[in-house]
């Protein structure tokens, strides 16, 4: 459906070879439809060396836009001609634009060096060239993906990308444009779209789960009250235990615990069974949905048997978009209940089950449970496999809830497990021999990714580990019918077509088609499998463990400070004696830190330990503490927090926002653990390892280093980690001296 103009592409490639690479004529590229095999060609380069190619490609996009304007009713009048362009006011204005643009460009130079090797803070790094190029080319056409008529090309791209995200995550997909009203073989298939960000994707996931929970209540009310459904009083549904019963006979608890896919079939089943047009059925039910009548009425008028406020459950490590979403949806932020986490910041399953028991006993409807597949502060992957298994046991007890995987950050890491896409076999097939060191995910993390497709909805953000420019979040539903629960326009009647647009199914109104184009083109060049994004992700896993190892070895480097990572080295985790802990540190230093990537990989024993180091993904979460002058450990929590705060400020642009003079040597970010949210297990463990004795209820400030740089240990000049460690050591030493002297 989307064609490429091969002539232009060949011209570009040839120009590239001759002009920039100075290649002789005979090596001219013949386009074979193959992709690229160099990740180095996919990013700008530390000093922007690849922008020279991007310049050419951007000119191609500008020329394409000029051509399309010229070809559109070429004889139409114009507001511009050569005389106007030569006139003084025009020239003055253009000169002014040049000057002001120059000012803008200079102002932007203070934006922060998020492209740099020194950026080991936020989950923000350089963006892919195809991401920028895809965005730029589409930007020129100002497409608005709110409706297909305002974005005839980029809406199709969004549908394509939605399918690709679903496929990446393991959901079955339909051909573009097929609707759930037309599903073949009654199969459940997924649906996805681009959102402005992960917060809105999470909001939509919660919105859907809330509407889903109450939908059977609305169906019952509609059958009882609307004359168009008067004949449907005998309508049967299948319960969690497989029994078929009359919907009208169900009590309130059973109504809010119908099986998810059974609920989603209801409108079609009623339409087919009672020969009523599907739009009529949908509209009749819509009059009684929580969407229309509000939370108060759905509970007070139609669920008198539910005496407790419905809740959603999420890991304590949840992003704040979850309580925010609950507030927006009228669920109430306080009803988005945090489940405490274990020492590794993964959802504590005992606490989770206890919470479900409580809900079951008190008949508290659970709208959804959120498992985080990659937290961005603790690098923890929740035990999704167990969460799914636990749901099965509660289904047997008559309790149903949707499961949302918040893989806003970690979604793209699934590409490490996806084999090459048959339809695009050439992309990244032949990674150059200067290959970086892709590391497989740990067995535990792999297990969670392998069941992702069983989650009912998933947030996955291309603008995070997909390296696509903002704004590009993403939301995928396991069952495409879920999108109808949040739509305000019946898709079948929308301009008379089927599924004509993606814009009607989300929170946003106007939204950039350019974002869809950016994701589309980035995926086109960097395939979402082991040959493309999977390779980049694997490199980042590897580099994150390399930096973790180097950081923890500072603990045996006779420094006036020590580091407490959230996830300690295995010897500490296994409570081995101090001599064995020391031995493991020395092993890590000698066989992991102080050797080349190649030596490490060849050393089976060292590599086995290396794979076990650190958190679940590519983020390092750590705290510093210092030794007093008598070599005892500082036991004052306030001083620990002051130290970590000072380190964060030294390594942060935010110390003096917009000030180009304040250039931190490296960039990290920070956050804090609180007892109220994270629970006692994690807090007590950290306090013990920090050696603090006071401030029991104080929060604990920590440093976050996110590794999104696939080249961190493999630059043209070798690993950059020794430089990072030198910078950290020097700066932290100075800060410790200040803190100790009370400055």
Ligand X SMILES: Cc1ncc(COP(=O)(O)O)c(C=O)c1O
User: Contact residues for ligand X (CB under 6 A)?
Assistant: 197-199, 202, 319, 321, 372, 375-376, 406, 408-409, 459, 461, 473
| CA gap 706, 497 in Å, rounded | 45
In this complex, which beta carbon is closest to ligand X, that of residue 143 or of residue 317?
A: 317
φ and ψ at residue 340, rounded to 5 degrees: -60, 160
Q: How far apart, in whole angstroms, are the C-alpha atoms of residue 709 and residue 729? A: 21
Whether the CB-CB separation of 376 and 407 falls below 8 Å is answered with: no
Encode burial over 459-477: b for 16+ CB neighbours within 10 A, e otherwise.
bbbbbbbbbbbbbbbbbbb
Which two three-digit tokens encode residue 537? 């992700």
Beta bridge partners of 702: 671
CB of 376 to ligand X, least distance (A): 4
Minimal distance in Å, beta carbon 380 to ligand X?
Answer: 10
Strands (E), 373-453: 402-406
Q: Which residue has the tokens 């070599």?
A: 631
Q: Rounded distance, CA 296 to CA 288, Å?
A: 12
Biggest CA pair distance of the chain: 87
DSSP string, 664-691: -SSB-EEEEE-HHHH-HHHHHHHHHHHT
**CB 657 → ligand X: shortest distance, Å?**
19
Q: Look at residues 179, 199, 196, 69 and name the one whose alpha carbon lies nearest to residue 516.
A: 196
Q: How far is CA 497 from each of CA 9, 319, 501, 620, rounded to the nearest angstrom?
A: 35, 38, 9, 49
Terminal-to-terminal C-alpha distance of the chain: 66
To ligand X, the closest distance from the beta carbon of 122 in angstroms equals 9
Smallest gap from residue 123 Cβ to ligand X (A): 6
Tokens of 668: 């990290």
Between 306 and 619, name the residue whose CB sits nearer to ligand X.
619
- Pick the closer one to ligand X by CB: 459 or 517: 459
Q: Cβ closer to ligand X: 376 or 479?
A: 376
How far, in Å, CA of 604 to CA of 607, rounded? 5
- Residue number, 342 or 698, with CB nearest to ligand X: 342
Provide, rounded to whole angstroms, the least separation between the CB of residue 664 and ligand X: 21
Q: How far is the CB of 193 from ligand X (least distance, A)?
A: 15
Q: State which residue, 351 or 380, has the beta carbon closest to ligand X.
A: 380
Cα 696 → chain centroid: 34
- Closest contact distance (angstroms) between CB of 647 and ligand X is 21
- Smallest separation (angstroms) from ligand X to the CB of 378: 10
**For residues 324 and 656, which CB has a smaller minimum distance to ligand X in the complex?**
324
What is the smallest separation between the CB atom of 477 and ligand X, expressed in angstroms?
17
Q: Of the two residues 427 and 678, which places its CB atom closer to ligand X in the complex?
A: 678
Which two tokens mark 296?
């108060």
Q: How many CB atoms lie within 10 A of CB 175?
A: 10
Nearest distance from C-beta of residue 178 to ligand X, angstroms = 29
Q: Between residues 198 and 512, which has the closer beta carbon with respect to ligand X? A: 198
Per the structure block, which two tokens stand in for 633? 């450990």
Q: Which residue lies nearer to ligand X by CB, 282 or 321? A: 321
Q: Which residues of 589-609 are buried (b: 16+ CB within 10 A; e: fewer)?
A: bebbbeeebeebeeeeebeeb
Q: Minimum CB separation from ligand X for residue 620, in Å?
A: 15
Contact 673, 702 (CB under 8 A): yes
Are residues 660 and 695 in contact, defined by beta-carbon separation less than 8 angstroms? no
Of all residues in this chain, which one has the CB nearest to ligand X in the complex? 198
Token pair for residue 198? 């992960």
Handedness of CA 646, 652, 657, 659 (dihedral sign): positive
User: How do 619-626 and 561-565 pair as beta strands?
Assistant: antiparallel
To ligand X, the closest distance from the beta carbon of 741 in angstroms equals 37
Pair 501, 494: CB distance under 8 Å: yes
Paired tokens of 362 = 């008190």
In the complex, what is the shortest distance from the CB of residue 341 to ligand X, in angstroms, rounded to a whole number? 14
Q: Report the phi/psi class of residue 431: left, alpha or beta, with left for phi > 0 and alpha for psi in -120 to 50.
A: beta
With respect to ligand X, which residue has the nearer C-beta, 566 or 728?
Answer: 566
C-beta of 205 vs 491, nearer to ligand X: 205
When the beta carbons of 461 and 531 are compared against ligand X, the nearer one is 461
Please, are residues 213 and 365 in contact by the beta-carbon 8 Å criterion? Answer: yes
* Cα distance between residue 317 and residue 374, in whole Å: 10
In terms of CB distance, is 484 or 706 closer to ligand X?
A: 706
Token pair 């949210």 in the structure block, residue: 677
Paired sense of beta strands 336-339 and 311-315, if any: parallel
Q: Closest distance between ligand X and the C-beta of residue 716, in Å?
A: 31
Q: Are 644 and 623 in contact (CB under 8 A)?
A: yes
Q: Are residues 494 and 547 in contact, defined by beta-carbon separation less than 8 angstroms?
A: no
**Least distance to ligand X, CB of residue 45, Å:** 26
Measured from the CB atom, is 459 or 484 closer to ligand X? Answer: 459
* Least separation in angstroms between CB 667 and ligand X: 16
Which residue's CB is nearer to ligand X, number 486 or number 572?
A: 486
Q: Would you tell me how many other CB atoms lie within 10 Å of the CB of residue 235?
A: 18
- Residue among 57 and 619 whose Cβ is closer to ligand X: 619
CB of 606 to ligand X, least distance (A): 32
The residue behind tokens 């740099």 is 116
**Residues in the chain, how many?**
743
SS3 state of residue 314: strand
| Local structure of 638: helix, strand or coil | helix
CB closer to ligand X out of 319 and 687: 319
């Amino acid at each position: 459906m989307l064609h490429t103009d091969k002539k232009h592409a060949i011209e570009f490639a040839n120009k590239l070879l001759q002009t920039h690479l100075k290649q002789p004529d005979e090596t001219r590229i013949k386009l074979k439809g193959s992709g690229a095999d160099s990740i180095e060609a996919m990013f700008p380069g530390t000093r922007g060396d690849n922008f020279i190619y991007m310049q050419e490609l951007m000119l191609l996009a500008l020329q394409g836009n000029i051509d399309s304007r010229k070809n559109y009713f070429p004889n139409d009048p114009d507001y511009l001609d050569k005389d106007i362009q030569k006139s003084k006011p025009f020239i003055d204005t253009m000169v002014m634009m040049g000057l002001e643009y120059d000012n803008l460009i200079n102002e932007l130079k203070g934006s922060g060096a998020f492209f740099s090797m020194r950026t080991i803070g936020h989950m923000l790094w350089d963006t892919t060239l195809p991401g920028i190029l895809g965005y730029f080319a589409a930007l020129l056409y100002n497409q608005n993906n709110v409706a297909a008529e305002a974005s005839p090309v980029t809406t199709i791209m969004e549908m394509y990308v939605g399918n690709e995200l679903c496929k990446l995550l393991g959901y079955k997909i339909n051909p573009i444009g097929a609707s759930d009203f037309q599903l073949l073989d009654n199969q459940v298939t997924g649906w996805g779209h681009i959102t402005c960000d992960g917060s809105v994707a999470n909001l939509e996931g919660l919105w859907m789960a809330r509407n889903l929970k109450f939908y059977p209540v609305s169906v019952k009310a509609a059958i009882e009250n609307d004359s168009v459904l008067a004949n449907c009083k005998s309508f049967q549904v299948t319960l969690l235990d497989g029994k078929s019963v009359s919907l009208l006979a169900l009590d309130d608890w059973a109504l809010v615990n119908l099986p998810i896919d059974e609920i989603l079939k209801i409108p079609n089943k009623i339409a087919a069974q009672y020969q009523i047009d599907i739009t009529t059925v949908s509209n009749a039910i819509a009059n009684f949905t929580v969407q229309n009548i509000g939370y108060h009425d759905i509970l007070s008028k139609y669920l008198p048997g539910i005496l407790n406020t419905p809740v959603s459950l999420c890991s304590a490590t949840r992003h704040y978009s979850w309580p925010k979403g609950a507030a927006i949806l009228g669920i109430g932020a306080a009803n988005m209940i945090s489940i405490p986490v274990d020492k590794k910041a993964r959802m504590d399953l005992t606490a989770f089950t206890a919470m479900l028991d409580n809900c079951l006993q008190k008949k508290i409807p659970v709208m959804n449970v959120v498992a985080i597949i990659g937290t961005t502060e603790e690098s923890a992957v929740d035990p999704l496999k167990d969460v799914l298994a636990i749901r099965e046991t509660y289904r047997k007890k008559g309790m149903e809830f949707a499961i949302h995987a918040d893989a806003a950050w970690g979604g793209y890491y699934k590409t490490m497990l996806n084999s090459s896409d048959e339809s695009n076999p050439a992309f990244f097939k032949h990674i150059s021999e200067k290959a970086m060191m892709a590391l497989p995910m740990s067995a535990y993390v792999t297990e969670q990714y392998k069941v992702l497709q069983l989650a009912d909805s998933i947030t996955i953000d291309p603008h995070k580990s997909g390296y696509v420019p903002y704004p590009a979040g993403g939301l995928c539903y396991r069952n495409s019918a879920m999108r109808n629960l949040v739509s305000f326009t019946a898709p079948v009647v929308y301009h008379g077509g089927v599924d004509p647009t993606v814009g009607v199914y989300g929170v946003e109104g106007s939204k950039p088609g350019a974002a869809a184009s950016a994701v589309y083109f980035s995926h086109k060049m960097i395939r979402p499998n082991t040959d493309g994004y999977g390779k980049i992700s694997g490199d980042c896993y590897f580099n994150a463990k390399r930096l973790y190892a180097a950081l923890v070895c500072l603990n045996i480097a006779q420094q006036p400070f020590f580091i407490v990572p959230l996830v300690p080295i295995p010897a500490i985790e296994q409570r081995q004696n101090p001599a064995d802990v020391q031995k493991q540190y020395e092993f890590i230093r000698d066989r992991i830190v102080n050797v080349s990537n190649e030596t490490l990989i060849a050393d089976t024993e060292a590599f086995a330990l290396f794979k076990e180091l650190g958190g679940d993904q590519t983020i390092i979460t750590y705290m510093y503490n210092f030794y007093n002058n008598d070599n005892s450990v500082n036991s004052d929590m306030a001083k620990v927090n002051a130290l970590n705060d000072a380190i964060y400020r030294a390594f942060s642009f935010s110390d003096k926002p917009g000030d180009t003079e304040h250039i931190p040597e490296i960039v990290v970010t920070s956050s804090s653990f609180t007892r109220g949210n994270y629970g006692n297990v994690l807090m007590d463990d950290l306090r013990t390892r920090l050696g603090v004795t006071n401030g029991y209820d104080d929060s604990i400030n920590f440093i976050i280093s996110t590794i999104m740089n696939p080249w961190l240990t493999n630059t043209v000049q070798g690993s950059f980690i020794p430089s990072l460690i030198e910078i950290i050591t020097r700066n932290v030493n100075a800060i410790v001296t200040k803190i100790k002297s009370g400055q």
